[in-house]
Structure 1
Amino acid sequence: MTKQWVLVTGGSRGIGRALVEELATQWNVVFTCRSNQPQNAEVIEACAGLPGWVESCICDGCDEEAVNRVAPDLLARFGAPFAVIHNAGITLDGLHIQQTGDNWRQVMDTNLNALFYWNRHLLPAMMAQGEGALVLMSSVSGVKGNIGQTAYAATKAAMIGMGRSLALEVARFGIRVNCLLPGIIESDMTDAIPAEALKALRKQIPLRRLGKAHEVARAAAFMIGKDSCYMTGQTLILDGGLTV
């Protein structure tokens, strides 16, 4: 088993949990979560029989001081990560004219500023290592408008711009940067949608179904793995044809 490790932000549930479980079949994984909750232990238990070890780490990525404490500790313990998947994010949907300043800033801090806080610690170590990959978990909302998601869409579109520029900056150090844009993925939120509304939603998707978290995880694994070693600065859309 390789000693390389991968950081997954927001890995205790949903797509994040699927990422941890998929990546632990090939790499060691550290995942972050905002608080000590039962889901953390459940993820670790689910990965117990996999080749890679898995560890949870309490850190709210939008708290700059928390990242300033945690990131150096991870580097001291494990060295530079092989890859970082910036997955943590929130929506806080609401019409633009009704959104509060606090909600707007919370979405910006969680979805965008946290990437900067982590990167400025981890990227220099990865650059010195001479290899690595970053995956920015964007969304089709970053390229396709969605009512009530001006803040969320703004951060996801910003990830695409950040990813393309950052890819140019770090390519000479052997580091690749790509964005993954999931569409509508099965989750607790979609489970709560009324049957008729869910049926109408599926009709908007050419493949006539919602995506699954493990499908997103497998795409992310490809994006950090050797099979995509000549891919950088790109956006991979995984949405069943929704944005075609």
Structure 2
Amino acid sequence: MSRKWVLVTGGSRGIGAELVRCLSRQYDIVFTWLNNGQEETQFTGTDWIKSIQCDGRSEQQVVATAEQLLREHGSPYAIVHNSGICRDSLHIHQSSDSWQQVMDSNLNTVLYWNRILLPAMMLQGEGALLLMSSVSGIKGNPGQSAYAASKAALIGMGHSLALELGRFGITVNCLLPGFIETDMTAALPGPRKEALRKSIPLRRFGTAQEVAQTAAFLLSEPARYITAQSIIIDGGMTA
């Protein structure tokens, strides 16, 4: 690697894929994928992008992957914790298995990665953590009690980590996207999608590019004095 490198978890599609594309303009990128990923290292012009299959729900897989990355590339400059899933269900019908899948994918994996990679980042004396939360973490949504609980937990985790890591020059922030144009929103029925659009003050969904560009700013030098913040990107929906 010729530049600082950044880990993006869940970078094969949607917001994650755009994060990889956007951040690769400035950093060398390693991204993980579980499904719909690419197994080979990619070179786009002078950009360096490497993909690794890793199931973030498995502590064993995360530890092995993180230790391999440290051996091969040294400490990352930043980690963007983007991987996550939805298992929507009314709370009284949510199975224990689906609840645990959401917690493992959206929350516990952050701990698994951090325990291995953070000590190296602390030693280098600079860096950034970016936790991909959601407006669901601060605004209820029927059928998403598990998802909302996991995303709210990331916000609380981010505040505590910012206090723990500030003296090591590491910033910690959360991004809270609202409705963003992705494959998931594209699959919504037309009437439902139109009703959601009208509920947003700006009368449109956000774009993955807008989320990625905000992430890029929070990792940049001009944002080195921004930490312990939750940045909402929702077109005014939570106003």
Match of 2:99 in 1: 104
Q: CA deviation at 1:62?
A: 1.2
Q: CA deviation at 1:194?
A: 2.1
- 1:229 equivalent to 2:224? Answer yes
- SS in structure 2 opposite 1:198? helix
Match of 2:44 in 1: 48
Q: CA deviation at 1:7?
A: 0.1
Match of 1:195 in 2: 190
- SS in structure 2 opposite 1:40? coil
State the alpha-carbon separation in 1 of the partners of residues 127 and 2 from structure 2: 14
Match of 1:22 in 2: 22
State the alpha-carbon separation in 2 of the partners of residues 142 and 206 from structure 1: 20
- Opposite residue 194 of structure 1, the aligned amino acid is P
Match of 1:9 in 2: 9
- 1:177 equivalent to 2:175? Answer no
Match of 2:213 in 1: 218
Structure 1 residue ranges (4+ consecutive) displaced by more than 6 angstroms after TM superposition: none
Q: CA deviation at 1:41?
A: 5.8
Q: CA deviation at 1:199?
A: 1.3
Match of 1:91 in 2: 86
Q: CA deviation at 1:52?
A: 2.8
- Give the number of equivalent residue pairs: 239
- After TM superposition, the structure 1 = structure 2 runs for residues 16-165 of structure 1, keeping only pairs within 5 Å, are 16-35=16-35, 37=36, 39-40=37-38, 48-49=44-45, 51-165=46-160
Cα contact 2:14–2:182 (8 A) shared by 1: yes
- Opposite residue 113 of structure 1, the aligned amino acid is N
- SS in structure 1 opposite 2:84? coil
- Structure 2 runs not aligned, ≥5 long: none
- SS in structure 1 opposite 2:181? coil
- SS in structure 1 opposite 2:211? helix
State the alpha-carbon separation in 1 of the partners of residues 16 and 34 from structure 2: 13
- SS in structure 1 opposite 2:75? coil
Q: CA deviation at 1:2?
A: 5.2
Offset from partner CA, 1:151-182 (integer Å, 9 cap, x none): 00000000000000000001000000000000
State the alpha-carbon separation in 1 of the partners of residues 116 and 210 from structure 2: 30
State the alpha-carbon separation in 1 of the partners of residues 158 and 237 from structure 2: 22
Offset from partner CA, 1:132-160 (integer Å, 9 cap, x none): 00000000000000000000000000000
State the alpha-carbon separation in 2 of the partners of residues 65 and 28 from structure 1: 25
Q: CA deviation at 1:193?
A: 1.6
Q: CA deviation at 1:107?
A: 0.2
Match of 1:205 in 2: 200
Taking only aligned residues, the RMSD between alpha carbons, in angstroms, comes to: 1.4
Cα contact 2:39–2:52 (8 A) shared by 1: no
- SS in structure 2 opposite 1:53? strand
State the alpha-carbon separation in 1 of the partners of residues 114 and 166 from structure 2: 15
Offset from partner CA, 1:33-79 (integer Å, 9 cap, x none): 125x4x4269x65x612x33000011111100001111011001100
TM-score (norm 1): 0.95
State the alpha-carbon separation in 1 of the partners of residues 235 and 195 from structure 2: 15
Cα contact 2:39–2:53 (8 A) shared by 1: no
- Opposite residue 136 of structure 1, the aligned amino acid is L
Structure richer in strand, relative to its length:
2
- Structure 1 runs not aligned, ≥5 long: none
- Opposite residue 179 of structure 2, the aligned amino acid is I
- Opposite residue 88 of structure 1, the aligned amino acid is S
Q: Indicate the percent of aligned positions where both proteins have the same amino acid.
A: 59
